[in-house]
Amino acid sequence: MLIGTLISCSDSVTLEKVALIPLPSELSVGGGSFEMNSKTVIVASGEAVNTATYLQQFLKNATGFNLDIVANKSENSIALSLDGENLNSEGYSVVVEKDIVSIKASANSGLFYGVQTLRQLLPPEIESGKVVENIKWIIPCVTIDDKPRFKYRGMMLDVARHFFSTDYIKRYLDYMALYKMNTFHMHLTDDQGWRIEIKKYPKLTQKGAFRTKNSQDKECDRLAKENPDMVITPELFKVVDGEKVYGGFYTQEEIKEIIEYAKVRNITIIPEIDMPGHFMSAIENYPEVSCFGKADWGQKFSTPLCAGNEKTYEMVENILAEIVDLFPSSYVHIGADEVEKINWEKCPKCQTKIKKEKLANEHELQSYFVHRIEDFLISKGKKMIGWDEILDGGMSKTATMMYWRGWEPDAPVKAVKQGNDVIMAPSTHFYFHEEQDGGSLMRVYGFEPVPEGLTAEEAKHILGGQGCIWTEYIPSEARVDYMAVPRMIALAETLWSPKKQKDWKTFVKRIGVHFDRLDVKKVNYRLPDMGGLFEDNVFVTKADVAFTSPLSNPEIYYTTDGTVPDKESKLYTGPFEITKNSTLKARQFGKGSARGDMLEARFVEGTYANAIEFENVKRGLKCEYYEGKSWRRGVVDIGKSDIWKGSFETNSFELPEIAVKRYASFALVYNGYIHVKKDDIYTFSLLCDDAGVLKIADKVVVDNDGKHGPIKKTAQVALRKGWHKIELKYIEAGGGGVLYLTMLDHFGQFSEISGEHLAH
Ligand code: ACM
Ligand code: ZN
């Protein structure tokens, strides 16, 4: 028998056959295989019959085999057994031999994951919803022992901003199950829609679930002109009193159906009723629970519930009582994020409450509200989760904090040191509604959920992590697919696999294999970016265009007349030349219906910038450092009304530690010269959060200005051999910060610009 772990195995045949995600704790690949046929039986007894029944149904869809479930050991079988040896209830072992497959676990949750592993070992056609003929259902011989690293492996979907059907929620749960995710956080209510039937307050859904088109819908309409995934689901519109409204909601019966579907897949559903802010869709219909009797927008967010009015507590407790009865989850999420407190400052009831409860200010009023709701949930036998704002004004010992504000990097450690549990959903890495680029997947994969500064014992309070999809600009199920997959799969491996086993290089190969499976499942996943094409390109007489692709058989279609490429456009068959200023649009298509992002590249004819001579060369760069908050227009505002804090010399464009550590808002201006070895076109890539603008030879090369999350932009400049002026301006508006300036080298790799090529 040939033994070798997948991680060290460079044999691409093995990788094709055993492309498991998440990577198991222990895996050895043997020779030979098990072939499932219509005579195969499933062996299971007692409680294990639950998982056996799921497996039987799952296999039947694509194979057409109606495998018998039998109690006694048999040849040609898939044997499921609950043997109690695995200490982790989600852990399992799978041994595939030529005549038998054995899956063992101590609980049905572990057996279920053994079955998911088996599913990934079967040919991708097993994902077909209908019977596939003429195929051998081969399972390679392997031995696997596996358990998850984290107990909370979650995905969140905001069904409030846009609504998604029960059928789609089931699909989403299917994706999660295939990758061993176990918690679905449903963001059920928000300013833009109330999505769950509450019997005591019928107007919440009769009216609160429907709205006329808002500004976000209109932006979706605009984007839909170039992207069909941005079309708002037409079935969700109806006419009420002559007015076209958008919306939908889940009845309690539908919620029960979803919960049951999830339970079979070892997924717990955590409901979120967001309060006291983000409550506008309810306040519009029950204005008596607001401070001033009406729903309204404050400066940044909607005005919240009145935290000084007992009617408010009565209403939210009544709502939560129905939620608690409906959802078996031990947790209920109450949001508590982004609460606009201006009304509370002015409201007599809120001010009376502050005095009566001896609270210091409105932050403590928020904390009072959250504590009171938590007490209510505890009285119902539930635990409370809130977004990380629950830390402000004092968090109870028993609350679980869901970390999201990437610009508050200390929050998770602070919460853990107080003894609280934390779920990691940082906006910087796990917000999957954020636009994607060539680096997004690696960014998710590379994030370590346990922050530095915790002991091993304290680290146990990091329950796990969660990918979040906020849907203001996600109006269709196809678009949810596109934003969730494959980032969810990268997250799944981070949350399941042992840290030391994670390996980006094999992950990329394994996910390539998984695309076939996702094609069969008809998932509208996002293909990885093509290479060889940058946003802004410069040419002197002509540019040679050659696409590269991480896919084995990509189909790339392109246009040069500004139109959106589709399968009717020009098919890329090999390198070609561009000789005049033009905009190239290209898109990759997979074997199924999956597509990549449309890439747009501008080509502009340029001339070489002349090199300059200078004396007294000192290695490295000079950098000016500013603090402040006044860069409204972007980098042009640096040096205006901010405070210059000093300058320093540096060998690279790295962020200085003092700036990052202070988590302040700061700006940097790097200045110096860069040396290039020959007359050529040079390519620079600037990844920054927030603004960054690179100038070379006094011309803007990469313009990545404005307040934004991590975005990478790449552009070119034509330079003569020698030294050229280089300037990089950067702003971190919130705290933290990301800055990577790289240059394409002659090996075709982007690498950091080192001190020996820099001078000042
Ligand atoms: C959030 O993104 N407001 C939790
Ligand atoms: Zn009030």
Q: What is the pLDDT of residues 266-299, one digit of tens each?
A: 999 999 999 999 999 999 999 999 999 999 999 8
- From the CB of 337, is ligand 1 less than 6 Å away? yes
Q: Which of 104-108, 140-144, 464-468, 565-569 has the lowest mean pLDDT?
A: 565-569
Q: Name the residue at shortest CA distance from atom 3 of ligand 1.
A: 337
Q: How far apart are the first and last CA of the chain?
A: 62
| Residue range(s) in the chain whose domain bears CATH number 2.60.40 | 536-605
404 in contact with ligand 1, CB cutoff 6 A: yes
Tell me whether residue 680 is one of the annotated catalytic residues: no
Across the beta sheet with 100-105, what order do the strands follow? 26-36, 137-146, 92-96, 100-105, 77-82, 41-43, 69-70
Query: Can you give the pLDDT at residue 738?
Result: 85
Q: Which of 127, 158, 190, 274 is catalytic?
A: 190
pLDDT tier, 658 (very low <50, low <70, confident <90, very high otherwise): low
Q: Give the pLDDT confidence score for residue 660 in this predicted structure.
A: 65
The pLDDT of residue 2 = 36
The pLDDT of residue 85: 76
Confidence at residue 13, expressed as pLDDT on a 0 to 100 scale: 56
Burial of 744 (0-12, 13-18, 19+ CB in 10 A): middle
> Is residue 648 a contact partner of residue 692, using CB atoms and an 8 Å limit?
no
The CA dihedral of 435, 441, 443, 447, to the nearest 10 degrees, is 120
> What is the predicted pLDDT for the residue at 661?
64
Q: What is the pLDDT of residue 83?
A: 87
C-alpha distances in Å from residue 202, one per residue of 166, 281, 642, 646: 20, 13, 52, 61
From the CA of 389, which ligand is nearest?
Answer: 1
pLDDT digits (tens, 9 = 90+) for 510-550: 998 999 999 999 999 999 888 877 889 999 999 999 988 87
Residue 12 has pLDDT above 60, yes or no: no
3 compared with 681, residue with greater pLDDT? 681
**Per-residue pLDDT, 622:** 95
Locate CATH 2.60.120.1560 in the chain: 621-759
Q: Which of 332-336, 449-453, 587-591, 647-651 has the lowest mean pLDDT?
A: 587-591
- Residue 403 to residues 274, 335, 365, 371, Cα–Cα distance (Å): 15, 11, 21, 18
* Percent of the chain residues topping a pLDDT of 70: 97
The mean pLDDT value for 79-102 works out to 93
- Confidence at 568, pLDDT banded by 50, 70, 90: very high
Which ligand is closest to the CA of 402, given by its number? 1
> Looking at ligand 1, which atom is closest to the CA of residue 470?
2
Confidence of residue 657 (pLDDT cuts 50, 70, 90): confident
* Number of CB atoms found within 10 A of residue 41's CB: 18
Ligand nearest to the CA of 432: 1
Q: What is the DSSP string of 137-202?
A: EEEEEEEEEE--S-SEEEEEEETTTS---HHHHHHHHHHHHHTT--EEEEE-EETTEE-B--TT-T
Q: Is 338 in the pocket of ligand 1 (CB under 6 A)?
A: yes
Q: Which residues contact residue 218 at a Cβ distance below 8 angstroms, ignoring those fewer than 6 apart?
A: none
Stretch 492-497: mean pLDDT: 98
Q: Where are the alpha helices (DSSP H) in 95-148?
A: 108-121
| Active site annotation includes 190 | yes
387 lines ligand 1 (CB under 6 A): yes
State the CATH class of domain 536-605: mainly beta
* Ligand 1 probe mutation, 190, 338, 472, most atoms within 8 A of CB: 338
What whole-number percentage of the chain has pLDDT above 90?
Answer: 81
Mean pLDDT of 197-207: 98
371 is catalytic: no
Structure tokens at 651: 């060998």
Confidence of residue 4 (pLDDT cuts 50, 70, 90): very low
Q: What confidence tens digit (pLDDT) does each residue in 728-740 have? A: 999 998 766 889 9
Q: Best mutation site among 275, 300, 333, 337 for ligand 1, i.e. most ligand atoms within 8 A of its Cβ? A: 337
Q: Which atom of ligand 1 is nearest to the CA of 404?
A: 4
pLDDT at 736: 67
Q: Rounded to the nearest whole angstrom, what is the distance from the C-alpha of residue 427 to the centroid of ligand 1?
A: 8
What residues pair up with 667 in beta bridges, in sequence order? 626, 731
Whether pLDDT at 3 is above 50: no
Res 126: pLDDT: 97
**CATH class of the domain defined by 152-496:** alpha beta
Under a CB-based contact definition with an 8 Å cutoff, are residues 44 and 80 in contact? yes
pTM: 0.88
Average pLDDT over residues 690-699: 96
Q: Does pLDDT of 498 surpass 50?
A: yes
Instruction: Determine the Cα–Cα distance for residues 331 and 734; give it in Å rounded to an integer.
Output: 31
Classify strands 243-247 and 268-275 as parallel, antiparallel or unpaired: unpaired
738-744/680-689 β-pairing = antiparallel
pLDDT score recorded for residue 5:
41
* Residue limits of CATH 3.20.20.80 in the chain: 152-496
What is the architecture of the domain spanning 621-759? Answer: Sandwich (2.60)
Homologous superfamily, domain 4-146: Chitobiase/beta-hexosaminidase domain 2-like (3.30.379.10)
Least confident of 3-7, 109-113, 502-506, 686-690: 3-7
Predicted confidence at residue 8, as pLDDT, reads 37
